[in-house]
Structure 1
């Protein structure tokens, strides 16, 4: 005799679809957190909130990479301004393309800013809700300060604007890279 639908599907290893779905936690939308709770596998309100974890090694390796990139951006910007645009940025143009110790100061400052941003992101990840929103605001405002502050100096207008633009580009790169590293290191 022929087997019925239920017998054939059970023999093949299948159960009724709604039973299988309920066993896997898909009963009446509870997997998305809409259920009444009621224990077990449904994903209702009875589960404790999920704690996030941070992979600090991944965050800080991304922060170190961001520091290297920030230093390289600073160096490239300095070369672009001094060699191609012939703007006496950080030293008179007759001192050469690298401008001596001022180049090192700019590159090291950019790298330290990236490491400080990584430390800020780590602190926010472990202490506040919605940490990347706070990070974006804090880092964005600090970048704006770093871009506007050179405009108050007594340098020529070209040097002041150039300094502000370089600080802005470095800050945006740091924000982007550290945010990416923080999101990759967190399971939020």
Structure 2
């Protein structure tokens, strides 16, 4: 059945532009890695807290700084994959993603507080994890919203063509006196 203008009905379903989503995910991974490095530099350089490095390793620390940055980038890519999965499989992907990211971030904040290291290192690591988790959640959620699309599929047409409206034939208006 068609509408007033003869258009066929369409099946409209939400979708996601995977290229835009994953391009944003890679950019988010870079941001997360740099944020981890900045967090460690601030903790070690400004506050002189030994986060992920023994004393005497300097502001940059040892290989753990690179590992921490790579793990932050990997978490951002995992969050992008999670958002992609939720976007194609669940009715409210942003809500589920938000809850999952809050809980994962909460785990990342609480876990360092259970370690047997100096209290300042516990608090610094928890703070860095909190900032990284919140940034990843916010950026992935907002760029996924911008990557959402609507996929339109035409429904099957009925066997009979849609009815057309018949208008009465009118004679053209007279152009000269003797046409009347």
Q: TM-score range by the shorter chain?
A: 0.7 to 0.9
Structure whose CA Rg is larger: 2
1:68 matched to 2:30: yes
CA distance in 2, matches of 1:129, 1:142: 21
Give me the CA root mean square deviation.
1.7
1:89 to 37, 51, 55: 51
Distance of 2:13 and 2:81 partners within structure 1: 21
SS of the counterpart of 2:14?
Answer: coil
Higher relative contact order (CA 8 A, sep 6+): 2
> TM-score, structure 2 length as denominator?
0.78
CA shift for structure 1 position 53: 2.2
Aligned-partner SS, 2:13: coil
Secondary structure, counterpart of 1:51 in structure 2:
strand
Q: Distance in 1 between matches of 2:95 and 2:59?
A: 39
Matching of residue 124 in structure 1 with residue 86 in structure 2:
yes
State the aligned residue count.
148
Q: Does the CA-based 8 Å contact 2:15-2:87 persist in structure 1?
A: no
Structure 1: runs of 5+ lacking an equivalent: 1-37
| Alignment map for 1:158-177 (pairs within 5 Å) | 158-177=120-139
Structure 2: which 5+ residue stretches go unaligned?
151-180
Distance 1:163 1:41, change over 3 A: farther
Deviation of residue 187 (structure 1)? 2.7
Q: Give the 5 Å matches for 1:88-167.
A: 88-167=50-129
**1-structure distance, mates of 2:141, 2:70:** 21
Q: Give the whole-Å Cα distance in 2 for the aligned partners of 1:138 and 1:167.
A: 15
What TM-score, normalized by structure 1, do the two folds share? 0.74
User: In the alignment, is the contact (CA less than 8 A) between 2:110 and 2:126 conserved in 1?
Assistant: yes
Tell me how far 1:181 sits from its aligned partner.
1.5
Instruction: List structure 1 runs of 4+ shifted beyond 6 angstroms.
Output: none
Larger helix percent: 1
Cα separation, partners in 2 of 1:41 and 1:130, compared to 1, 3 Å: farther
